Chains A and B, each alone.
Chain A
Amino acid sequence: MSRVLLPVLASALLLAGPAQAADAPPGASSCTGCHATTKIADSVIPRIAGRKAADIVTFMREYRSGAWPSSVMGRIAKGFDDQQTNAIAAWFAAQSE
């Protein structure tokens, strides 16, 4: 990820200054309503920060198609297309675990 991220950061710094509030892609900030940004004791819901982007994309795609069973994620994954899912996955993957 870092090879992809650094040029993005560098250009962001040069063009727009340090406040990059909107760099979270659409939808990403809602994920942390369940998938915590910090470690939560006794949570059965996995954190996704720092997971491999390809793994997050796979989970979302399989939940969306129904190939993998889920309680709620299938209903949510259906709201995101491939491009949106890829952007969200890359954003979480770039974060520290």
Chain B
Amino acid sequence: MTTRRTFLKGAAVLGLTPAIASAQPSAGKVVVIGGGFAGATAARTLKTLEPKLDVTLVEPNAVYTACPFSNSVLANLREISQQEFRYDGLKRAGVTVAATSATAVDATAKTVALADGNRLSYDRLVMSPGIDFNWGALPGYDEAAAQKMPHAWKAGAQTTLLRNQLQAMDDGGLVVMSAPANPYRCPPGPYERASLIAYWMKIWKPKSKLLLLDAKDAFSKQRLFQNGWAELYPGMIEWVPLSKGGKVTSVAPATLTLTTEFGSHKAAVANVIPPQRAGAIAGQAGVADRTGWCPVEPVAFESTLRPGIHVLGDAAIMGGMPKSAFAANAQAKVCAAAIVELLAGRKPQDPILINTCYSLLAADYGISVAGVYRPDKGQLTDVPGAGGVSALEAVGGLRGQEALYAASWFRTITAETFG
């Protein structure tokens, strides 16, 4: 938006403003499916960069509940209402919001069928459907089971349910979490969650313990998390990796039991983070491959399976870039600029993208991972020598500083996304 403002300022000096301000025909139609960090950013940025575009966001929910910082809701550090965002800012920017679901995409006819019976045509389609759960992949775990053993991996009612279960738990009760194999939304999320549940238990349920069953042997920011657990919560968090029998093979919601290859664990509170894939509409549109995720090229994030459809955020396979809100927002801004170029018949430039992802281990204890990415051999690749995690030796109040940065980042990214 500042680009345009700067431009207009320059244009005004040149005496050319009237030519720009005069009404002009549409520069094209873009439909965006899904109003999370990627989709809302894409819609708003498209309209800001090129006001003559017709931009429609298809999003059935009036309120978006953000996942970043939702682990702090579990620890009673925040209210769920602080996670909620609306689309008024997008409407103010000139985006048309269709408050319904997309039911089918026809990539050949370039149309999107909506649940309300309408059909939208597009020149370019942006799909940012987020994740869905692979309900069949973990025996015993389905939508009904999620009411007993919440996933809380889409923020909202599930977050509140898990928080209520934790609060009702007897002191001394065992919390059992299960973390999936890669890839999944928010790689460090399960470990931040374990940390913040321990933070809360240390105050309110000091005899309780947390068992974290993991379908992998390594995880994001691992040494920082494990050092922090030893420092802050000695003896409270037990992490069981894949090689020690951590992979959960089935669950029994009636008895809150999680079974691994090595044995069974009965929980007082169970948090099952199930295997995931791109949101279902991606499969219907033909942009998801056999992995369940969506391959894209690394400049405009156009599907390699269906031309004219761009896939962003958690649903997409973005090379080295993780599935984070920061990444989704960054990809959306690059994609929006590229779409404006493509619709004008120009070639988009090769982008550079940044990801920064904060995790909290306590209210005043933050860590981060960062990366810089560019297209290389057909996919987004880490720029060598850049990125990495927070220093292992924290000097000068670094952990407290990063906790402050995390909170500021959340306020910024939500304002940048939703306006």
Q: Contact residues of A with B, CB < 8 Å?
A: 2, 5-6, 9-10, 12-13, 16-24, 26-27, 29-38, 40-45, 49, 69, 71-72, 75-80, 84, 94-96
Contact = CB atoms under 8 A, between A and B. Distances in A.
B14 A21 contact: no
B408 A76 contact: no
Nearest to A5: B10
A79 to B, nearest CB: 3
A95 B2 contact: yes
B333 interface: yes
Given A30-B333, A75-B388, A96-B6, A19 B50 contact: yes
B20 A18 contact: yes
Contacts of A35: 412
Nearest to B52: A19
Given A33-B416, A45-B405, A20 B351 contact: no
B341 A21 contact: yes
A96 B411 contact: no
Interface string B320-343: 000000100110011011101100
A12 B338 CA distance: 17
Given A29-B333, A79-B383, 19 more contacts: A22-B338, A24-B3, A26-B351, A27-B351, A27-B352, A33-B354, A34-B408, A34-B409, A37-B2, A40-B412, A42-B408, A44-B405, A71-B390, A71-B398, A71-B402, A75-B386, A76-B354, A76-B387, A79-B372
A44 B408 contact: yes
A36 B405 contact: no
Contacts of A31: 354
Interface of A is mostly: loop
A34 B355 CA distance: 10
A22 B408 contact: no
16 contacts: A6-B10, A9-B7, A10-B14, A19-B27, A23-B7, A26-B351, A29-B333, A33-B330, A37-B416, A40-B411, A45-B405, A71-B405, A72-B368, A76-B354, A76-B386, A94-B6
B412 A33 contact: yes
B349 interface: yes
A21 B336 contact: yes
Contacts of B408: 34, 40, 42-45
Given A6-B14, A9-B11, A37-B1, A21 B49 contact: yes
A42 B337 contact: no
B33 to A, nearest CB: 21
B356 interface: yes
Contacts of A12: 7
